[in-house]
Every structure is written in C-alpha cells, then in structure tokens.
Amino acid sequence: MLIDQAQPSALEDTLAQQYRLQRINAQVLTLLAARAQLYAIPDGRPVGTVVAALAADPRVRLAQANIIYRRQGGTGKAPAVVPQYALSKISIAPAHELALGRGVKIAVIDSHIDAAHPDLAGAVVNSFDASGRSTTVNDGHGTAVAGIIGARGTMRGVAPMADILAVRAFAALSERQPIASTSAILLRAIEWSVVNGAQVLNMSFAGPRDPAVQAMIEAAQKRNAVIVAAAGNGGSNAPAAYPAAYPGVIAVTAVDAADKRYVHANRGSYIAISAPGVDILAPADGGRHAFLSGTSFAAAHVSGIMALLLERSRSLQPQGALAALSDNAVDLGPAGRDEDFGFGRADAFAALQAIAERK
C-alpha cells in the first residue's frame, strides 16, 4: 500500500486498527513522495476484499497485493560451439574500440551476486540487500547476469568497465520455497538503485502487472534511468510479462547462435529487441562457469550495450538509447518490428556509430 508522504505519520497504525491488519514493514519511497506499508491479514480474509476496502479509502494512494516475481533464466544446456558466440553476434569487438562502459552504473536487481568471482574482480562497486532475508541459498542467477554485463577476467563482459551495483531482491521467501521476490522488495530495490546513481537497471525477472512497481519504474525513468527487462520465458502463448511490457521499458527476447527465437520466449507487441540468450557462457557462484539459456541473459547483453552508449553520450536520454539500438538492429523474421524479435538483434557497434554521428 502507498500513502502520500504528507499524510500523518500515525496513519499506518490507524489503518491497521480500522481494517484489522498487522503491520509487517514500512519504507519511505522518495522517488514517489510516498510511504509504502506492507500489512498481513491475521484473520484470513481474502486479499481482494481487503485491497478493495483500502483502495476506497481516500487517505490511501494505492492498495494492492504484494505480488511475487520469478527470474527468467533457464537451466544449463549443451555448450555452444563457440563459448562466447554472443559477443560476436552483437559486434562487441569493434564496439570495444569505442567504449567499455566506463563510469556507467548498472544496477543488477537479482539474486545474490558473487562479487568474489575472479571474472567480477573490481566490477561490483556497491551492494544492497533489499530482500531482508537471512537465507544463504543462492542459485547463481545474479552472478551470471552481472558477469554477462561486466565480466573482466576469463570471460569478457559486454561492458567490462561498467560499475555494477549488486542489488539483492530475490531470495527464498520462506523455508523450502523457490527463490523469488515481491512488490515490496522491488520497490526498495528500485528506490535504492536510483538514489545511488544507477543509470541502467537490469530486471531479468517477470510477473503480472503491478501498479506500485510500475509507478516506481516511471519515477526512475523521469530521472533518465534506462530500464531493461527480460521479455519472459512463458512460451509463445503466454500473456505479456512485466516489467518488460510497461511503456518505455526495453523488453528483450532471446535468440540462439542461428538467430532462432528461444523456444520458451514470450511473444508480443511489447518486445523491443533481441539478443543472444541461448547456451550463454556465464560466471557461476564459487568461481565456476555455466552454460545458461533464457531471456534473463539476453536482457543482460542489452544492459551492457546501454552502458557503452551512455559512456559515449552522457546526456543520452532513455528514448534516444532505445532508438539507437532499434534503428540499427539486425532485422530478423518479417520485415520491421514483429512479435518474435522486436526490431531485431541488437548490434552494439552500429548503435555506437549512430550516436557518434548525431553529435
């Protein structure tokens, strides 16, 4: 639930008493000039009934359920013929002659990132645990995403000189539960990322439409943060995945070494761009490496490209960054934008050349 910051500080307690709720945690969201309050319903009333009652209260800006999110990575598969084929597919070698992501902060909002991995030595400049969970269970997803973006060891990342902000927002929500996140955790994660200077936010996860998270993303966009999100791994008949489908978010789908759409990728008009996301070599926790597939890892490649563009043009706006990427993509499938590939496969070098010509 969101309450305007100007409301009395005792309002959350008043609402708890009036609607028979238990306060769980609260946070100030400066980007929204609001306070977020998470409640529990001790007597087991349906969530929808309580949300409807709160939404009708004029003192409440927004009431909703605490939505659960899942990452969009798959399992390891047989290695590709060329271990890091992805870098050649998006023209990274010539792109690195122009930019390496220097001075650009990328928030990786994900699970735990193994900052001690040799490939990430010096890459993680700040970290924050938005999950509030004490569990030590990790799945390597955050490490893989961060490595695709900024590896600088055995592996080479898309933006090896970018500054990674490791924002832990995914953890086991309870014992024996899968790693996931919620609306409340993501609000905290996005707030911290933007306040701490993130210019790119990588969101390799998906869930249903979420008004509170959408409002926070819009606030981040107003501060010129570029939001990159995974298009989803629900398959060709799945509904639109969020945050990828929100306006202004760069929704990234995955293709393989032959430019074929990842078999589990979502389709839809919201998809903006394609990037390698099948059989991707990435760092894994404990200093290891793994081959992974999913739109999560395609999104990481595009976040890295955004860092390259921002190094070359510090004043580049999110829409300008998307235009540079989409206007210079390698068209795949039917001519023009389509529901399988968006504008086509990202080409880092062509996008960098395009913004250089605009200066």
User: 22-35 pLDDT, tens per residue?
Assistant: 999 899 999 999 99
Selected catalytic residue, list 110, 114, 119, 285: 110
For domain 68-358, the CATH superfamily is Peptidase S8/S53 domain (3.40.50.200)
Taking CA atoms, 229 is separated from 33, 174, 215, in Å, by: 25, 26, 16
| Whole-number Å distance between alpha carbons of 286 and 75 | 17
Choose, from 96, 112, 141, 301, the residue flagged as catalytic: 141
Catalytic site residue 131?
A: no
Report whether 202 contacts 110 (CB < 8 A).
Answer: yes
Whether residue 211 is preceded by a cis peptide bond, meaning omega within 30 degrees of 0, is no
Per-residue model confidence as pLDDT tens digits over 122-175: 999 999 999 987 666 678 999 999 999 999 988 999 999 999 999 999 987 666
What would the two tokens of residue 290 be? Answer: 């793994």
Q: What is the pLDDT of residue 197?
A: 97
Each residue's pLDDT tens digit, 331-349 = 998 899 999 999 999 999 9
Domain ranges of the chain: 2-55, 68-358
| 88 has catalytic annotation | no
Identify whether 301 is a catalytic site residue: no
- Positive or negative CA dihedral for 162, 166, 169, 173? positive
Q: Which residue has the tokens 């398959």?
A: 235
CA atoms of 299 and 263, how far apart (whole Å):
16
What pLDDT is recorded for position 330?
Answer: 96
Backbone torsions φ then ψ of 335, nearest 5 degrees: -60, 135
pLDDT of 136: 66
Helix, strand, or coil (residue 282): strand
User: pLDDT tens across 38-49, in order?
Assistant: 999 999 889 999
Nearest CA to 74 out of 300, 267, 293, 295 is that of 293
- One of 181, 204, 293, 296 is an active-site residue; which one? 296
